[in-house]
Amino acid sequence: MKHFGTAPDRPAANDARLFLADRVTLLYDSLPLALTAVVINGGILAAVQRSVISQPLISLWFGSLLAVTLLRFGLYHGYRHRSHSADPVPWFKLFLIGALGSGLIWGSTAYLMFPERDPVHQLFVIFVVGGMSAGAVTTLAASFLALLFFLLPAMGPVIFRLYQLDAPLSDVMAAMLVLFLAMISIAARRSRKLIMESLVRRYEHQRTEAAMEHQAHHDSLTELPNRRLLVHRLEQEISRSRRHRFLAAVLFIDIDRFKTINDSLGHSVGDSLLREVAMRLKSNVREEDTAARLGGDEFVIILSELGDNDTLVARKTQRLAEKIENLLSEPYQIEGHTLHVTPSIGIAMFPVDDADAEEVLKQSDIAMYRAKQLGRNTIQFYLPAMQQAAKTRLDIENELRDAVERDEMELYFQPQLDADGRMVGAETLLRWNHPQRGMISPADFIPVAEDTGTILILGEWVLQRACLQLKSWMDTTTDEALCAFPCLAINVSPKQFRQQDFFQRVQHIIKHTGVDPRHIELELTEGMLIENIEDTAEKMAQLADLGIRLAIDDFGTGYSSLHYLTRLRLDRIKIDQSFVRDIPRARHSEVIVETIILMAKNLGLDVIAEGVETEAQLNFLKQRGCFTYQGYYFSKPLPRDAFQRYLRNGCKS
Ligand code: C2E
Ligand code: CA
Ligand code: CA
């Protein structure tokens, strides 16, 4: 929506810089007409004077005239194709130069095309230059300066030449020409004024239109979008979110006990309070969000593009709603009163089914009423599932922070085997033994930890624990199977890897635990590697120098290019289980798996397939040249003791 927030008052019509862009356009618009007249009149003059002026002089003059005209036409062409945000000033200056050039050509006729003793042909020159000057009044009317740039060099020399002649009446004619010059200048000023006035009128018209448009779509008390604009924007947001498959939310905000304030302190206090609420809302939503006033003490916020995962979005929305709740609960200073108010907030997510804007608004309204019933100053989702999702997520966030300290985290180990069924390594997988919720999958809490930053604590703990475990297996046991333990893989999260001192931390843990780094493999995911390739390459080189092995996890799901693979110090690629799951049935997964195996071979990298569950998958992989596997077909991830038993049993469960 276009509106001129704080436009200046009526502009003064005599301000020379005013509407320069419009006026420059007017100047350029009349250029083709002016240039045509120049060529025609110039051609006639050259033809007529041929009998009294030498051919070289005529050619010189007419040639220069054509050259200047051509340049001005080029300029016209350039102006038509300029970018619309272009500054008008340089174009105006170029126009002035063009007008000056043209004026000089016409002025030069007083010497180049002026026969010494031939009054009729002399008169003809004066006649043509006078005509050209009179014509310029219309084509240059938009700028008095441009007119002067043309008129003075065009008529000046002619007047001077006449004045120098000692023919009868020549002085009088020179004086008359000066008078003529003065009169066309006055006429030019007049038409310029007319042009300016019409520009001012057009501007005012646009301004009123914009103001009316603004009024129709905004609330006059708070200047926020009104219901009409809100519904319009919400409709757009709903279809956008359907198209791009993201979730968004509507917050319905009602000020608790506003009526009491309005009734006891008066409407003026009430109005000021609403304005202040509107200001707080407006200055705290993102650029792409909309804060609107429905009327009374009801406000609505559209939060667009929040993500695509239900649980994450629910929690994010709740967090934003809490922020707004706190913001609106700050005390207000109004007309000497300190007011404390709280909002009740209802949340409806969209898109759901085929609910349109009115329906979504209604849902958020219903949720807001439920919030009020629950005792005001609360936040409620329209859908109970969303409420639950947000709550679970919040609980996990809170509990996760202390889970390490409460000793609820545990490491599981999943064996990795070769084609002969010998164990060649194991992957460390984190488990959360929640006292009430039972075993929580890392798929549920790792994203939360990543989001809140708790992953740094968790990741460090995993690294430390895994190294200690490895060390104790290698040192203390007399068991041959355990002694021969080849390699323990540890997952590293993106945030963890991107820590500036990640390498130093790993180095420290290795030194501290005394573990042999050649038996450790770090699993990194594709996405985090390409993000900052220089930094990544350097960190990986440092780790590799230490002797640590490096693997890419979930390979095939990111955007690896061969180019970056060759730049990194890698040892191994893990084929993502989503491809393994589909073989040997789905052709496209087969092709991907074959390609990855081939590529790894060509790059001299080891390759392991994860998620191997069936003999058919195993055989397919074996045939295509992949000889290391991890998956339920061999063993699920096992707690430490079970893992040790598995090893002692010769890798049989
Ligand atoms: P991931 O790194 O891709 O780990 C492999 C996942 O596949 C594990 O899930 C494992 O139990 C599962 N899996 C193994 N074999 C099979 C199979 O044959 N069939 C099926 N359907 N699944 C199989 P898990 O343990 O639930 O871990 C999930 C994800 O959580 C991991 O995926 C990893 O991204 C993350 N994660 C786990 N532990 C850690 C950790 O210590 N640090 C970090 N940063 N992330 C971790
Ligand atoms: Ca992994
Ligand atoms: Ca994986």
**What pLDDT score was predicted for residue 4?**
37
pLDDT on residue 377: 74
- The ligand with the least distance to the CA atom of 557 is 3
State mean pLDDT over 208-226: 91
The DSSP annotation for 348-400 comes to EEE--TT--HHHHHHHHHHHHHHHHHTTSS-EEESSHHHHHHHHHHHHHHHHH
The reply to whether ligand 1 has any atom less than 6 angstroms from the CB of 270 is no
Ligand 1 near 459 CB (within 6 A): yes
Q: What is the pLDDT of residue 398?
A: 86
CA-411 nearest atom, ligand 1 = 41
- What does the pLDDT average to over 262-277? 93
Does the beta carbon of 430 sit less than 6 angstroms from any atom of ligand 1?
yes
414 Cβ closer than 6 Å to some ligand 1 atom: yes
In contact, 560 and 530? CB cutoff 8 Å: yes
pLDDT for position 1: 38
Nearest by Cα to 26 from 129, 146, 205 = 146
- Verify whether ligand 1 is closer than 6 Å to residue 556 (CB atom): no
Q: Please tell me the residue having the least CA distance from ligand 1 atom 35.
A: 442
Residue 232 has pLDDT above 90, yes or no: yes
Answer yes or no: is the C-beta of 454 below 6 A from any ligand 1 atom: no
Distance from residue 216's CA to the centre of ligand 1 (Å): 56
Of all protein residues, the one whose alpha carbon is nearest to atom 11 of ligand 1 is 637
d(CA 645, ligand 1 centre) in Å: 21
Residue 12: the pLDDT is 54
Res. 584: pLDDT tops 90: no
Say if residue 564's pLDDT is above 80. no
Any ligand 1 atom below 6 A from CB of 493: yes
Encode pLDDT of 136-169 as tens digits. 988 898 899 999 999 999 999 999 998 988 877 8
Sorting pLDDT into bands at 50, 70 and 90, what band is 641? very high
pLDDT over threshold 50, residue 449: yes
How far apart (Å, rounded) are the C-alpha atoms in residues 586 and 579?
9
pLDDT at residue 13 is higher than 70: no
pLDDT at 2: 39
pLDDT over threshold 70, residue 215: yes
Pocket test for ligand 1, best of 446, 502, 583 (most atoms within 8 A of CB): 446
Q: What is the pLDDT of residues 110-137, one digit of tens each?
A: 999 999 888 899 989 999 999 999 999 8
Determine the Cα–Cα distance for residues 594 and 603; give it in Å rounded to an integer. Answer: 14
The amino acid at residue 101 is G
Mean pLDDT of 533-553: 93
Q: How far is the CA of 499 from the centre of ligand 1 (A)?
A: 22
Q: What percent of the chain has pLDDT over 70?
A: 94
Tokens matching residue 297: 């003490």
Is 84 in a helix, a strand, or coil? coil
Residue 612 backbone dihedrals phi, psi, to 5 degrees: -75, 120
If one compares 557 and 161, the residue with the highest pLDDT of the two is 161
Give the mean pLDDT of 259-273: 91
Nearest atom within ligand 1 for CA of residue 574: 3
Q: From atom 46 of ligand 1, which residue's Cα is the shortest distance away?
A: 491
Ligand 1 nearest-atom number relative to CA 612: 18
- The verdict on the CB of residue 632 being under 6 Å from ligand 1 is yes
User: Both tokens of residue 496?
Assistant: 């963890």
Structure tokens at 212: 């009316």
**Gyration radius (Cα) of the chain, Å:** 41
What is the structure's pLDDT at 477? 63
Position 431 confidence tier, pLDDT thresholds 50, 70, 90: very high
Query: Which residue's CA is the nearest one to ligand 1's atom 24?
Result: 442
**Which atom number of ligand 1 is nearest to the Cα of residue 450?**
44
The closest-lying atom of ligand 1 relative to the alpha carbon of residue 462 is 41
Residue 607 near residue 628 (C-beta atoms within 8 A): yes
Q: DSSP string spanning 293-343?
A: EEETTEEEEEEEEEES-HHHHHHHHHHHHHHHHHHHHS-EEETTEEE---E
Q: pLDDT-based confidence at 478, cuts 50/70/90? A: low
pLDDT digit string (tens) for 601-620?
A: 999 999 999 999 999 999 99
pLDDT tens digit sequence for 315-353: 899 999 999 999 999 999 999 989 999 999 999 999 988
pLDDT of residue 96: 96
Mean pLDDT of all residues in the chain? 89
Q: Give the type of residue at 128.
A: V
Q: Is 153 in the pocket of ligand 1 (CB under 6 A)?
A: no
415 lines ligand 1 (CB under 6 A): no
**Between 57 and 451, whose confidence is greater?**
57
- Mean pLDDT of all residues in 46-55: 93
Q: Does 15 have pLDDT greater than 60?
A: no
Decide whether any atom of ligand 1 lies within 6 Å of the 447 Cβ: no
pLDDT band at 522 (very low <50, low <70, confident <90, very high): very high
Q: What is the pLDDT of residue 563?
A: 72
Q: Which residue lies with its CA nearest to atom 8 of ligand 1?
A: 429
Lowest-confidence pick of 87-101, 145-159, 430-444: 430-444
Quote the CA–CA distance of 557 and 460 in Å, as a whole number: 26
Please work out whether the CB of residue 356 comes within 6 Å of at least one atom of ligand 1.
Answer: no
d(CA 129, CA 266): 77
Question: For 375-397, how does the pLDDT look when each residue is reduced to its tens digit (9 = 90+)?
Answer: 777 899 998 877 777 778 788 88
Q: What is the 584 CA–ligand 1 centroid distance (Å)?
A: 22
Determine how many CB atoms are found less than 10 A away from the CB of residue 71.
Answer: 15
User: Does residue 396 contact residue 445 with C-beta atoms inside 8 Å?
Assistant: yes
pLDDT score of 67: 97
Mind giving me the DSSP string for 106-124? HHHHHHHS--TT-HHHHHH
pLDDT given for residue 567 in this prediction: 84
Q: Is the pLDDT of residue 26 over 80?
A: yes
Q: Is the pLDDT of residue 5 over 50?
A: no
pLDDT, position 195 = 87
Output the CA 554–ligand 3 centroid distance in Å: 4
**Which residue has its alpha carbon closest to ligand 1 atom 13?**
611
Query: By the 8 A CB rule, do 434 and 425 touch?
Result: no
Q: Is the pLDDT of residue 414 over 90?
A: yes
- Asked if 114 and 159 count as a contact pair (C-beta separation under 8 A), the reply is no
